[in-house]
Homo-oligomer: A and B are copies of this chain.
Amino acid sequence: MLARVSSTPSFKRLPRAVREQQMLDAAVKVFSRRGFHAASMDEIAEDAGISKPMVYAYLGTKEELFIACLHREAARMMLTIAGAADPDLPADQRLWRGLRAFFGFVGAHRDGWAVLYRQARGSPPFATELAAMRARLVEVVAGMFDHALRARGREIAATELEVVAYALVGAGESLADWLADHPEAEPERTATRMMNVAWLGAAQLLDGVTWRPPADD
């Protein structure tokens, strides 16, 4: 009889919560490596060290699984950012801390970022999910501006504010992409660069300086 020399101690039965995290880890990894459609549930399951039916049992459909990834990564990110902001600091300090936390997160979770902000953008079912998350970010940024403006006795229409915030968030995402693609780049320096783009203009806006299109054009 062939002796079965098993080196691995035969994986035990783990409680649901643990397995779910393992699955999400694997899913984020595979989704980010292959893209949503090219990723196969087989690969995810294998990578999680579990059989496919378990994935379905715990996290549902491939689409639902992807959304679960989205949510987990987004929640983590928002938590990181929220933890860094101190409402009592002056506006630029708050922005700086927020950005540092943001880029720090992206640098530490390049996979998660890829899932979150690259894959989700394309396909209709996720675009809305992503839009919702980005909206939260936009709101935070817009809120910061509004706060700073009021502190200076100034005010800007809500839509206007939102659009500016939208642009800044976009700039941030873009740099985050850049960061995710440059493994050697330091998150903190990236944050500084972003401040140079965002704050210098913002400070002007806060002081009431605006740019207007040339009249004759």
| Chain A residues near B (Cβ < 8 Å) | 1-2, 4, 16, 34-38, 56-61, 64, 92-93, 96, 118-124, 127, 131, 160, 163-164, 166-175, 177-178, 181, 188, 190, 192-205, 209-214, 217
Please report the C-alpha to C-alpha distance between residue A173 and residue B175 in the assembled complex, in whole angstroms.
Answer: 12
Please report the C-alpha to C-alpha distance between residue A107 and residue B200 in the assembled complex, in whole angstroms.
Answer: 29
* Identical copies in the complex: 4
Q: List the B residue with the shortest CB-CB distance to A115.
A: B122
- Determine the chain B residues whose CB is within 8 A of the CB of A160 once the complex forms: 193
- Determine the chain B residues whose CB is within 8 A of the CB of A217 once the complex forms: 96
Please report the C-alpha to C-alpha distance between residue A195 and residue B168 in the assembled complex, in whole angstroms.
Answer: 12
Q: When A59-B1, A166-B175 are in contact, do A211 and B190 touch as well, CB less than 8 Å?
A: no
Please report the C-alpha to C-alpha distance between residue A118 and residue B194 in the assembled complex, in whole angstroms.
Answer: 23
Contact of A201 among B58, B92, B120, B199 (CB under 8 A): B199
Contact in complex: B35, A122 (CB < 8 Å): yes
- Determine the chain B residues whose CB is within 8 A of the CB of A198 once the complex forms: 167, 201
Contact in complex: A213, B201 (CB < 8 Å): no
- Determine the chain B residues whose CB is within 8 A of the CB of A123 once the complex forms: 35, 37-38, 122
Q: List the B residue with the shortest CB-CB distance to A197.
A: B167
Contact in complex: B175, A60 (CB < 8 Å): no
Contact in complex: A174, B166 (CB < 8 Å): yes
Please report the C-alpha to C-alpha distance between residue A59 and residue B192 in the assembled complex, in whole angstroms.
Answer: 45
- Determine the chain B residues whose CB is within 8 A of the CB of A4 once the complex forms: 16
Q: Which of A16, A167, A181, A194 has the most CB of B within 10 A?
A: A167
Please report the C-alpha to C-alpha distance between residue A74 and residue B7 in the assembled complex, in whole angstroms.
Answer: 31
Contact in complex: B163, A167 (CB < 8 Å): no
Q: When A167-B171, A192-B213 are in contact, do A202 and B201 touch as well, CB less than 8 Å?
A: yes
Contact in complex: B171, A195 (CB < 8 Å): no
- Determine the chain B residues whose CB is within 8 A of the CB of A1 once the complex forms: 56-61, 64
Contact in complex: A200, B196 (CB < 8 Å): no
